[in-house]
Structures are given as C-alpha cells and as structure tokens.
Structure 1
Amino acid sequence: MTSVLRLCDVSVDYATPAGPRRVVDRVNLGLDPGGTLGLAGESGCGKTTLALAVLRLLPRTARVRGRVLLNEQDVSQLTWGGLRAVRWAGASVVFQGAMHALNPVRTVFDQIAEPVRVHSVERPAVSALRERVRELLERVELPPERARAYPHELSGGQRQRVMIAMALACEPSLVIADEPTTALDVVVQAQVMDVLRRAVRERGAALLMISHDLSVLAGTCHRLAVMYRGAVVEQGETARLVTAPEHRHTRELAAAFPTVGDAGSRHVDGSAGSEGRGNALLSARGVGVTFVDRSRTRTRAVRNVDLEVCADETVALVGQSGSGKTTLARTLLGLCRPDTGRVRYRGVEPGSSSGSLREFRRQVQLVAQDPTGALNPRHTVYEAVAEGLRIHRDVVGEAERVRAALEAAELRPAADFVGRFPHELSGGQRQRVVIAGALVLEPAVLVADEPVASLDATVRGEILELLLGLRRRRGLSVLVITHDLGLAWSIADRVAVMRAGELVEQGPVERVLTEPEHEYTRALLAAVPSLPRVVD
C-alpha cells in the first residue's frame, strides 16, 4: 500500500545568533490511507514544527533535513507551483486557534470557497460554489445560513467546524489537525472530534492529529507517537501506549490529567473549607444580568444566581462556553452591574464610588484566562506586576513587593524575570506573571477564569500546584471558572454547575461529580474524555 505520509530521518534546525538550534531530531513516522496517527507531547517539543514541515510552512530560518514524502512525492523537491497544488488538495491543516486562523473581515462563505476556487481547473460558477459550501457546512453539522456570518459571530466550536470544512474543501488525502479542541468545553470538544473523525472516515483520508492531551488522542487515533525534546521517544498502537507505556515521558503525560472519581487525583481534603461555611467572603444573592444588543434584543445571561465563596475555600464554577460563567465572574468583580440581586464582600455591598470599588477590587483579584492578551507586550514583567500597586497609589516598598509577588508565583529568582517582556516567556511563565500581578495587592479572594485552558499537561499541573500552595500558605480563597471537570475534581472543595445562566446544581465536589442529580451535570461528565488506567 502506498503511504500518504512518510517522514524519514526528519530533523529541523532553526538559525539563531548563537548558532543552529535543533527542535526536531531524526523523526521516522508513516501514515497509510485511512489511518489515524496521534502526535503527543508538551508545548515546545517540536510537534507543530514537524507538522508544518510537511507542507513547507516553516519560516526561512528553519532548515529541514531528511525526507518528507507526501503521496510518495518528496516535498523538498516540489516547485512553487507543485507545492501550491499540494496544499489544500494533497494535505490540509486545521490550525489551533480558529479565531486567529480565520480572516476576521471575510464571511464564512468566502473563506471556505477560497480553496475550491484556487484548486479548480476552471473558474467555478457562483451557484456551484454555493452548493459546495452548503455541502461542506452540512458535513461539519453547521446550518447553511452560517455561510453569511463573520468569525466573531460564531462560537469557538462553530469556528473550529469552519476550519474543518475548509480543510476538507478539496478532498485532501491527509488532514493535519493541530490542537483542534484546545480551550473548548467538553461537550463542544466531543462534538468537534466526532465531526472530524466522521468526515475523515467517510472520505478515506488519513488524519495526523497533534495534542498535548493523551485522552483526546486516545479516543480518535489508532496509533500514537510521543515526542519529547524534538525526538519521538515512543510509538505504537494506542491501546498499548496508554495502558502500558514504556517511556517515562509517556507515563507522565498519561498521569497529567486528573480522572473524575479517582481519589488519587484529588489534591485537597474533602473537608477543607467546611469550617468557613456560612462565613462567606464573596457572595451573590439572586443575581441576574441582562444584555441588550443594537437591535434591542434582550439576552438574559445570568438568572437568579446564589453563590458564595467562603474563607479558605476553593469553589469551581463549571459549565459549557456561553453558559454565563464569565459574566457571573465579571459581576462578582464589580465589572458588570447586575439587574437584580446583590453582590457582597464580607457581608457588605461594594459601593458605586470609584474609591469604594477600588478598595473592593484590591481584595478580590482576577486571574485572566489568556495571559498573552492580559499582559501589555510593551511592558516588562516588573511593570506588569507593579501596575496594580500604582493604580491603587500604594507604591511604598514597590520593588520589594513586586519581588515577593514573583517569588510567591514561583518565578525564582525574581531578578531573572523582572526585565523580561511577555514574548520572552513561556505560556506557563506568562500565567505566573498574571498571578503575581494579582498577588501583589495581597487579596483575600482570587477569581481565576480558565487559568490552565491553553496550557500543556506539565505546565497545567505546575499552575494547579501553585494555586493549591497559595491557598495553604496565604489562606487565599479561590473561585475557579472552568469547563474542565477534571480540574474541578482535582482542586475544588465545592462545585457549582451553570447552564444557560442558571446554577442547576451545586455542592461538595465528591457528591456532585460522582453522584450528580441534574441531567446536565451527567451530560458534562459523559463528555469528558478518559484514559484507561496505566498498568504498572
């Protein structure tokens, strides 16, 4: 059988001022028609670089050695015209960040139709393009009228489906999916993966799927390859790799994601925080929030919510994207005014004056979801952390307090980080800077909005350990907003489940996530990908 893809001793070096830096080292992989191969590993291990080498999408500073054979054609020998013909038609890519990969000023129709136009021998008629786009949208389970939408008018899952439709537009023999479900909630993630699996299977295409999450790959791919520091350290049948991994790094990846119901994945005492119950630091009572758009349409984003965060307690607020979690968090932070109900801190409503709001926000600090967007690219780490002190006009001992906050966020020694800019940091380090910026004001409550959604397995574990350590050392209370039930199981004392703006269930984590009462909670749990237990 002719292979769709063969990588023969492929290495990639990047030119740097200090000399060549190897990021992919002598990789050998193969993929047959209809085959599915998962490429697993941490951020920075070379997964995406290897995938981009297949279609020569790497920057000019990269030098590829070895042979990349796509449908038995050596990609390095293709002319520009030959390479242009192979892209989309021979192999296509579903990129990681759909919002960034899609053109924000072009409609869904224009973007799906573009590869069809480019690869048609004759210019297709508009009616034929419309029919083809309609067919592709239906294949990825999107209504045809979505063709008129712009990317910002779609949800994260819908944007990812548009990317899949584009990738399938020219019926390629190979689809490369690079972290296609990162930061999607468990239900949408399951839907997107089902769409991708079915679309590839129906057309007999091969699938190369890249992820740091072994559970996602295990549910999709027949074979797995694990990369570590640029090299493939283990590969084989999925069933064998996830149950009896041989390499230490494969075992670490398999153990990195907590399993709901597994006592070994719980990192807090189930009774923690119980002494503070009834002594709420931050609470919402009957809170409702309504938005009105330009057409005067009213959307009830939050409905009659009662929620509290007590002293020395971690509460997880879980639910799908669009369920109202972030709107509720913004309301608790005083960034959004409720239509009904009250928000209280230590039993007192924050005033509406700038002075009282400033003092309230000093005590209740936000850890934003996207550290790259939260940090000013022109500000150093020192300036980012010191910003809160300056806003609150509390700059006495600023340098020492910034250093202490960085050390508390485990950026040690702080002197190595204060002069750096965000682009000089890893994703985990940027998230720690955001946490340090919240800690510098010594708050009583942290509101962490999806704090590990875009981080790989190892870094995710480090950030969770950091949050748990801060609670132990400083007595911080934490409200974690997440779509990840494994995260809630791992670090929370109580969990509140949100759907369509309402809390449908809340209580101790052990009860809600092992004996759920509401059907929506059961649906969320059923959608969580899982791995078979590793055999020691």
Structure 2
Amino acid sequence: MTPILQLHGLAVSYAGAAEPAVRGVDLSLGAGETLGLAGESGCGKSSLAMSVLRLLPRSALVDGSVLFDGEDVHGMSFGRLRAVRWAGASVVFQGAMHALNPVRTIGEQIAEPLRLHGTGGDRRSRVAELLRLVELPPERADAHPHELSGGQKQRVMIAMALACEPRLVVADEPTTALDVLVQQQVLELLGRLVAERGISLLMISHDLPVLAGACARLAVMHRGRIVEDGPVRQVTGFPQHEHSRALAAAALTVGDPGARRTGGSDGGRVLLEAQQVSVTYRGRSGKAVRALDRVDLQVRADEIVALVGQSGSGKTTLARALLGLHRPDAGSVQHDGRALPTSTAGLRRYRKQVQMVLQDPAGALNPRHTAYRAVAEGLRVHRETADERDRVAEALEAAELRPAEDYLHRLPHELSGGERQRVLIAGALVLRPGLLIADEPVASLDATVRGEILDLLLRLRVQQGLSTLVITHDLGLAWSIADRVVVLHRGAVVESGPVEQVLGAPRHDYTRSLLAAVPAVPGADSAEPA
C-alpha cells in the first residue's frame, strides 16, 4: 500500500538564516501508523511538520517532495490544497492558549472547518458529537477559551483537527505545559482515536517519554537531519546515535538516584512562610470558590522547595499571595519573621528581596524590548539606575549569558528558548534578592536546555546563597533539584516533606496518582541484547 505520507529529500531554509532548518529528510508514514519525531528546539521539527500541509511562511525555501496519498503537496493548486487541509490531513497546533481565538466561542471555532468544507447536516449537532469524542460536555460549546483549563483547550484543538474526519493528524507538541494527569488524558485520547478510527499520527515533541507513550515508531532529529529511526523500544532502550543517547539521558526519571542534581540541604532560618493561608474567589455566578484552604508552607535559607500539583490546584494563587499580590481571606504570610507589609512602599521594598521568574518567556518578554531593557526594568522601577549598565551586565553573566555584551542589544526573537528563560532569571537577579519564586521555569523548554536551567538554579544557590520556591507540575524537575516537596491538591496541602520521602514513598493517594501518570521511557532500563 502507498504510505499516506512520504517525504523525499525534504529541505527547508529561510532567507537570512545561516543554516537550513531541514536538510534532506526521507521519511514515510503508513495508514494507521504512529510516528514520534523527537529533537531539541531549533532542530527543524516544526518546519518539517508545517511543510506537510504547506503552512510555512513565504520566506521559506522548500526543496524535495512531500507526498500525501502519493500526490505532491507542493504541486497542488490552492483549491486542491484547501480540500486536503482539515479533510485529508489536519494539524493540532502547539500552544492551544495562542492558537484559539479569544473572542469566539469554542463551538464556533470547531465548526469553522465544517463551514469551510461545506459539510452538510446540523453543524451544532456535529460540534456536540466532537466535544463528546474528546470527553468534553456539549454545553461547553458556548464557552470562550479563557473559561477553559489548559487541558480542555488542548481537547478543543483535537476536536477541531478531527472535525472533517482526516486520515492524517500532525500533532505539534500537543502536551507542552500540561500537568501530568491532563497530559496522560490527552495521550490516552489520541491513542484511542488512532485505534478506533485508523488515523495516522505524526507527533512532534522534545519530550522523549511522551512520544514513547504515544507512538510505535520514533525518529530523532538533530540539526535538520533524521539521525535515527526505528521502533520506540529500540531507539529509547538502545540508541545508536549520540544525540539520541543525550535525549534519553536528559529525561528526568523520578526515583533514579542518578537524576538527583543535589544532595539535599537542611536549610537555615525560615525566609518565607505561609501560615493557614486561605483564599476565596467569587465566580461570575457569585458562587464562592475556595482556591486555597489553610495552606502552610515554608522556604528556608539555602533551600530549594518544589510546590507541585496539577493545573487548578491553587499553585499560582499561592504564589500571588506570597508576593503580596493577593491578600488572603485568612491566615498570614511572613518574610524573615515579619508579616508582609500592606503599604505600597513596603511591598515595593519586599519585592526587591523576593523576586518572581514568570512562566513562558515568549509571553513575558516584550518583543520590542532588548535584553538590556528587559533586565534593567526592575532597577528603573526601584529607582536604582546609578550603575545600571554594570548591574545589568552582572545579572546577565550570573544567568550564564556570557559575555553579556553579546546579549545586551538582542531582541527576544533573536534568542533561543533557553536564552529567553535566562533573560527572565537575569531580570530577577538584577535586584539581588534572597529568594526566587519560579513559576514553571522550564515547562516549554526541551530536555537538554531544561537541564541547563536547573543546573543554573543550583549554582545560584551555591554562589549567591539564593533560595528558590519552584512551582511546577513536573515531578521529574522536583526530584532533580528540590530539597523538599509540597503537594497541593484542590487548594490544600495533602503531603509535604523531603523529596526522597514524598516522591519515593508517597503516603497520599493524590501523590501516588501524579507519580503513576508520569510517562516512562520503554526499554530505558533494559540490558543490551547479546
């Protein structure tokens, strides 16, 4: 049988780029097969994926061929291409938060492919059917994207991709930034749809365990080339290429002593403490929602604490309370033994000492501001500009952007994902704080860059005595660098203690469910065959 997708000598380059993004790739995918494409950010994965349906920008130069059902995609007329998109092959785009239109209901957006392809029948009934298919209640069709969780938005993207019953689905990082439980649900959903409907799936990710859990075959991409291709167990268990081995080694395995980057710390005095903190919100209906329920948490000097839990557990609400951005309904927050100030001037002084590293550097950095201006902003807010240039350079160097002169005038789009994350860290370090609150600091980074950022946080503790509260849904991250773990579920702390105790021998059912949802790399612990 003719493969549903064939790439022959595919090459993609961009005007002004020093090197091609994709170099001479040969790849095929049969009907009903699942193929995972793994690699670091910038290796060419997304360029390859977008070439399948001719979605690359006009600045892209494409050579070679992309065959869908034996027909060259790049030779299709626009009318023919429009007929193939959605109906023959569809894409689940990376970042549902940005891919969905914020001012349109999800029902309208799921119905759009049906309208474009003139699909007959009752579209509202079809939308309801698609929502049920991705395990969302049909009444959510009238909701807007901001009213959905991250996992629900990702399900909407999958429903849109399946609207016209395509034979091929290209999923580009479909679980990035999702917590482990929602990630498990999305992967199980994709697996069920492949099995029940015979859909061919090309899944792209930097996360090897995710691909291993969803695909039967794995191809590893490095600097625009496919360097290894084979069954998942072969590629993950006995990788032949050095880059495949590096990706497998970079996976953070909970329970593996070799994955621990720190020997632990007893900690010193209590720097930051939440005592019986409760926060209640009022929904649009006026109904009270308890976001935090009598939460206790401590971060000591010379300590890294991981606050873990799935989306909606209250992690970000607690961070806002700790920073004085939201006043608790009950309980208190103390810094160095003193209650948080309530005056504007007092809070400004406090936030010099406790700095936030925001999630998603792509959204946190102003695209028109240079790295220098992004880092200098804190100094200007606090009116400490006398030695601004020296302190900005010092902060960039501390964040391992060296030499600092090479980065001062770069804009965010001129930096890699890891470099953008380092700019955010430098923006926090420039005020010389004693404690960082890092909200999902590596959620969107590939495995090797993630390891570099985690090592940086550990070095900052040693070199600058910096304590860190890391907010994350990634249990591998917690296992790798934390001294203690606090598990938050539905606004309450259900378990806390040393990382080896909480993640090695969990006592609470919720902690055990989080650990059970962490995808494993099959064959990673296998012995080399004789």
TM over 0.5, shorter chain: yes
| Secondary structure, counterpart of 1:329 in structure 2 | helix
Aligned equivalent of 2:373: 383
**1:490: Cα distance to partner?**
0.1
**1:275: Cα distance to partner?**
4.5
Aligned equivalent of 2:49: 51
Query: Counterparts of 2:232 and 2:220 in 1: how far apart (Å)?
Result: 11
The answer to whether structure 1 residue 255 and structure 2 residue 249 are counterparts is yes
Which amino acid is 1:213 matched to?
D
Query: Counterparts of 1:75 and 1:308 in 2: how far apart (Å)?
Result: 57
Q: Which one of the candidate residues 513, 517, 525 is aligned to 1:527?
A: 517
Aligned CA distance change for structure 1 residues 275 and 98 (closer, same or farther; 3 Å): closer
Aligned equivalent of 1:154: 148
Identity across the alignment (%): 65
Query: Counterparts of 1:293 and 1:149 in 2: how far apart (Å)?
Result: 15
**1:170: Cα distance to partner?**
1.0
Compute the TM-score of the two structures, normalised by the length of structure 2: 0.97
The answer to whether structure 1 residue 281 and structure 2 residue 265 are counterparts is no
- Cα deviation per residue 1:198-256 (whole Å; 9 max; x = unaligned)? 11221111000000011000011111100000000000111100000000000111111
Query: Counterparts of 1:64 and 1:416 in 2: how far apart (Å)?
Result: 32
**1:117: Cα distance to partner?**
2.3
> Comparing 34-43 with 293-302, which one deviates more in the overlay?
293-302
The answer to whether structure 1 residue 205 and structure 2 residue 192 are counterparts is no
RMSD: 1.2
**1:525: Cα distance to partner?**
0.2
> Comparing 481-490 with 430-439, which one deviates more in the overlay?
430-439
Which amino acid is 1:533 matched to?
A
- Cα deviation per residue 1:297-318 (whole Å; 9 max; x = unaligned)? 2111111001000010000000
Q: Which one of the candidate residues 490, 496, 500 is aligned to 1:500?
A: 490
**1:373: Cα distance to partner?**
2.0
The answer to whether structure 1 residue 432 and structure 2 residue 422 are counterparts is yes
**1:401: Cα distance to partner?**
1.1
**1:395: Cα distance to partner?**
2.1
Q: Is the 8 A contact 1:140 1:199 kept in 2?
A: no
**Residues 11-410 of structure 1 aligned to structure 2 (within 5 Å):** 11-16=11-16, 21-120=19-118, 124-125=120-121, 128-270=122-264, 272=265, 274-276=266-268, 279-410=269-400
| Secondary structure, counterpart of 1:26 in structure 2 | strand
> Comparing 188-197 with 95-104, which one deviates more in the overlay?
95-104
Q: Is the 8 A contact 2:267 2:303 kept in 1?
A: no
**1:110: Cα distance to partner?**
1.3
Which amino acid is 2:333 matched to?
V
Which amino acid is 2:34 matched to?
T
**1:59: Cα distance to partner?**
1.0
| Secondary structure, counterpart of 1:448 in structure 2 | strand
Query: Counterparts of 1:275 and 1:449 in 2: how far apart (Å)?
Result: 21
Query: Counterparts of 1:93 and 1:377 in 2: how far apart (Å)?
Result: 26
Which amino acid is 2:474 matched to?
D
Query: Counterparts of 2:498 and 2:21 in 1: how far apart (Å)?
Result: 45
Which amino acid is 2:253 matched to?
T
> Comparing 379-388 with 496-505, which one deviates more in the overlay?
379-388
- Length, aligned pairs only: 526
Query: Counterparts of 1:275 and 1:149 in 2: how far apart (Å)?
Result: 46
- Cα deviation per residue 1:176-198 (whole Å; 9 max; x = unaligned)? 00000000000000001111111
| Secondary structure, counterpart of 1:267 in structure 2 | coil
- Cα deviation per residue 1:458-489 (whole Å; 9 max; x = unaligned)? 11111111101100111111000000000000
Which amino acid is 1:145 matched to?
E
- Cα deviation per residue 1:264-301 (whole Å; 9 max; x = unaligned)? 0001113x1x152xx21000001011112343221111
Which amino acid is 2:13 matched to?
D
**1:67: Cα distance to partner?**
1.4
Which amino acid is 1:4 matched to?
I
Q: Unaligned 5+ residue runs, structure 2? A: none
Query: Counterparts of 1:88 and 1:275 in 2: how far apart (Å)?
Result: 55
Which amino acid is 1:46 matched to?
G
Compute the TM-score of the two structures, normalised by the length of structure 1: 0.96
Which amino acid is 1:7 matched to?
L
Q: Is the 8 A contact 2:483 2:499 kept in 1?
A: yes
| Secondary structure, counterpart of 2:431 in structure 1 | coil
- Cα deviation per residue 1:428-462 (whole Å; 9 max; x = unaligned)? 11111111111111111100000000011111111
